[in-house]
Amino acid sequence: MSSQKLASRVKDLHPSAIRELLKHSKMEGVISLGGGIPNPQLFDTEGLQIALDRVMSSDVNEAFQYGISEGIPALREAICGIVADRSIHCSADSVLITSGSQQSLDILARALINPGDVIVVERPTYLAALQVFQLAEASLESVSTDGEGMNVDELEALVQRQRIKAVYIVPTFGNPGGVTLSEPRRKQLVELSKRHDFLIIEDDPYSEINFSNTQFKTLRGYAEECDNLDNVIYTSTFSKILAPGARVGWLIVPDWLKQAVVNLKQATDLHTSTLSQSLTLHYLQTGRLPAQLELIRASYKEKCDVLCHELEKELGDRLSFHRPLGGMFLWATFKEEFDTTLWLSKTLEHGVVYVPGEFFYCSEPNRSTLRLSYASVSNEGLREAVARLKAALP
């Protein structure tokens, strides 16, 4: 059989449920609450055009040429300014440009994980991270989450029983749960990492989409305070705040890890598109990003409020959910035993899709859960989507 020619590590690698759902979202008349896709109506097309014109008029030679694997130095320097507002103080030498957060995770997995190494994730956690860690043949463990994020007490009990290599976490406005790790738990997690010498992979795509006046210090920021920088790795992206099609993200890594990730970057794709990097750099130099972030925050907050209101009004007797403080996702749970994967075929008949929650668990999934994304649906579309979900209930 031809399948016997496949490498063993990919035989059990399944397609992303979200990618598969995108096919349904393109069907005529279907409202998609599935993929975490930024609203294209909020792309700063004017600013991107200005940036592109500057690339074409003054930066063509670099933008269309091979580049260094670490990324364009000026862009790395600009990122240092961005993360300074997130309580991270670093030099451009610590920053590696990647082709989006997904490549960051892939590079980290290949740099750090040996088959059988224990990686701890949240329950539930980001689906594509599970794919990366499974491909690296990690042994996955999970700890529960609540309204304050990961249960760090549960993690502490776990690390006292067994040796772990790393914790992967989306601590701010997480995907899929929409929850935010509380300040006491952030401190506790970083201190626990120092005490038991395990790594933290902090994935931070959403922190700029903040609906509140509270600023949440990064785990990397807390690591600076307690001298634990060697154990905390930070990754973020421009995908949710600028343009996902550009595929520009970044890693901030400790000195001991830098050469390994650079070597892997070279072996993977030589470097992230210099055209995308130049476009991103010139956009940042326009000074338009802060105002653009305000537009995104206001729009997504309004959409989140609409969805929460409709769910409470129409489905409050059947569903419970956590109200997000930011980001793009709402996580809901049926109050009775319910299989949301089976229900999806019924909601499709009514013209609405979501992501069943079971795909976000590394083991023992709660099949009564679902993830809803409000980012790219109009307010009226959100109201209609909830009405269709209600109509599809048994």
Mean pLDDT of the chain: 95
Rg of the chain on CA atoms, in Å: 21
**What pLDDT, on a 0 to 100 scale, did the predictor assign at position 136?**
96
For 308-348, how does the pLDDT look when each residue is reduced to its tens digit (9 = 90+)? 999 999 999 999 998 999 999 999 999 999 999 999 989 99
The closest alpha carbon to 219, from 191, 178, 240, belongs to: 191
Read off the pLDDT of residues 45-60 as tens digits, 9 standing for 90 and up: 999 999 999 999 998 9
Rank 7-11, 12-16, 218-222 by mean pLDDT and report only the highest.
Answer: 218-222
CB-based contacts of 270: which residues, under 8 Å, 6+ apart? Answer: 66, 69
Question: Beta strand 249-252 with 232-237: parallel, antiparallel or unpaired?
Answer: antiparallel
Does domain 46-286 bear CATH number 3.40.640.10?
Answer: yes
Average the pLDDT over 155-167 and give the result: 97
Residue 17, pLDDT score = 59
- Helices 127-135 & 101-112 angle (0-180, nearest 10): 30
**What number is the average pLDDT over the span 218-229?**
97
Looking at residue 11, its pLDDT comes to 62
- Quick one: which H or E segment has residue 31? strand 31-32
Q: Quote the CA–CA distance of 242 and 172 in Å, as a whole number.
A: 18
pLDDT at 93 over 90: yes
Q: Rounded distance, CA 164 to CA 160, Å?
A: 10
> Would you state the pLDDT for residue 13?
63
CB 170 within 8 A of CB 122: yes
Q: Average pLDDT for residues 207-231, to the nearest whole number?
A: 97
Instruction: Give the pLDDT confidence score for residue 294 in this predicted structure.
Output: 98
Whether the pLDDT of residue 8 is over 80: the answer is no
Domain range list for the chain: 10-44+291-391, 46-286
- What's the confidence (pLDDT) of residue 5? 73
* Banded pLDDT at 20 (limits 50, 70, 90): low
Domain 10-44+291-391 has CATH 3.90.1150.10: yes
* Most distant CA atoms of the chain, gap in Å: 61
DSSP assignments along 300-350, one per residue: HHHHHHHHHHHHHHHHTTTEEEPPPSBSSEEEEEESS---HHHHHHHHHHT
Check residue 138 and give its pLDDT: 98
Residue tagged 């997480």 (tokens) = 174
pLDDT at position 59: 87
User: Does residue 381 or residue 16 have the better pLDDT?
Assistant: 381
Mean pLDDT of 348-364: 94
Span 116-134, average pLDDT: 97
Does residue 316 contact residue 383 with C-beta atoms inside 8 Å?
no
Confidence of residue 1 (pLDDT cuts 50, 70, 90): low
Whether the upstream peptide bond of residue 176 has omega within 30° of 0, thus cis, is yes
Asked if residue 189 lies in contact with residue 200, where contact means CB atoms within 8 angstroms, the answer is yes
